[in-house]
Chain A
Amino acid sequence: MDRGKRTDMNRLMTELADGNRAAFHPIFVAAWPIVRGFCARFIGDVIEAEDAAQLALVKVFERAPTFREGSEAMTWILTIAAYECRTVRQKTRRRRELGDSTIALSMEKDAAASPERELIEREVRTTAAELFEGLAEVDKQVILTALEKGERPEGVSATAFRKRVQRAMDRLRFAKEKKHGDA
């Protein structure tokens, strides 16, 4: 984006923050391709990038009334987009991790196991045991409860349980990264 367009964008954004609705459409038209391109580069996956770009744009306009005169509009917009991309990426990673663990557990429950499956199962168990080795007993219980039952124990609020699972998963991820050296 050249200097002139940036200045225009700053002016339009200031006007929108002040309440001029006429500035909405030009900003929307100008910002959408930039945000979409930015999210595509940030995330890599086309579909996820599209989702993140949409969420980011809605957030941009949700926060537009708080835009301060003198700020750089494009930097401000892309900061929101980057935050949204990080959130989407984090969600995807968590979903993937939970999915992997669920597959591992469902394999345990499979009664008619072939020798090949048995071998894989043993390997998964060994890896899980190794990973769980470094974890505190409380964290193990929290993860197993979340994966097996899918519901929180009695007397623990939903928020507290979600936080506990999140912390336990973070520690598990850290242990995994330490062991395998992957990011």
Chain B
Amino acid sequence: MATLDFANLEQQSRGAYERTRLKRALRVLWVVVPVLLVSLCSCTTPHLSLGIGALLIAATVGFLWRGEALGRSVAPGLKAGIVAFSVPLAMHMLGYCCRYDIETITCVVAGVAAGAGVSFFASRVERDRSKLLLAGGVIAALTGSLGCVALGIGGSVGVVGGVMLVTVPFAAFSLARA
């Protein structure tokens, strides 16, 4: 290694740090890609799934790379989102939704449950609660949308609405208290 000046060394170290962060952030694809594949296999509008999937990948990788509250929001967001993803999808596959015509309601309820999950996690955190709630809500809503897209665009809108119904007021309340 040639002798570097202080600024160059700092720049090189910063580059190494950012590269490691990005590499570690990309590990989330082991979770997101299978969810996307399930969504693609189960819905009739693959372009919509792909679009939401791309947004979800960008959000999860970006948040994890950025770190702090955004990074910490990914795991609870994904966990809550996977619940909102799998319940409506399972109900749809078992035929309950179509039989009783409750697609949108199911998605809204799943979204509310996901929002409650993210809020529960955020309630145990002291620092950057509102940021964590909003970022976690975005991840949960996008993950849930991938499942609800099989139930039509209304399902996706329903799950996003459900998540927002819980997380946004809670985030506003946290922000007001801070």
Contacts and interface: CB of A to CB of B under 8 A. Distances in A.
**Does more than half of chain A's interface fall in helix, strand or loop, or is it mixed?**
helix
Interface string A48-75: 0011001101111111111000000000
Interface string B11-26: 0111011011100100
B67 A58 contact: no
A19 interface: yes
Interface in A63-122: 63-66
A19 B71 contact: yes
A19 B9 contact: no
B20 A58 contact: no
Contacts of B20: 62-66
A54 B8 CA distance: 10
A145 interface: no
A86 to B, nearest CB: 16
Contacts of A47: 3
A57 B9 contact: yes
B67 A28 contact: no
B13 A20 contact: no
Contact of A51 (B1, B21, B67, B72): B1
Given A19-B66, A19-B68, A51-B1, A57 B24 contact: no
A66 B66 CA distance: 15
Sorting the interface of chain B by its residue count into under 10, 10 to 19, 20 to 34 or 35 or more gives 20 to 34
Given A62-B20, A65-B17, A18 B1 contact: no
Nearest to B70: A19
Interface in B1-48: 1, 3-4, 6, 9-10, 12-14, 16-17, 19-21, 24
Given A62-B19, A63-B20, A65-B24, A50 B13 contact: no
Contact of B9 (A54, A62, A65): A54
A51 B20 CA distance: 22
Most A CB contacts (10 A, CB to CB) among B3, B10, B24, B71 go to B10
Interface residues of A, number: 23
A18 B67 contact: yes
B57 to A, nearest CB: 19
B68 A57 contact: no
Nearest to A50: B3
A24 B14 CA distance: 8
A91 B12 CA distance: 22
Nearest to A47: B3
A55 B1 contact: yes
A62 B16 contact: yes
Contacts of A55: 1
A65 B72 CA distance: 13
B1 A64 contact: no
Given A54-B1, A54-B4, A65-B24, A19 B67 contact: yes
28 contacts: A16-B17, A18-B67, A18-B72, A19-B66, A19-B67, A19-B70, A19-B71, A24-B13, A24-B14, A24-B17, A32-B9, A47-B3, A50-B3, A51-B3, A54-B3, A54-B9, A55-B1, A57-B9, A58-B12, A58-B16, A61-B13, A61-B16, A61-B17, A62-B20, A63-B20, A64-B17, A65-B20, A65-B67
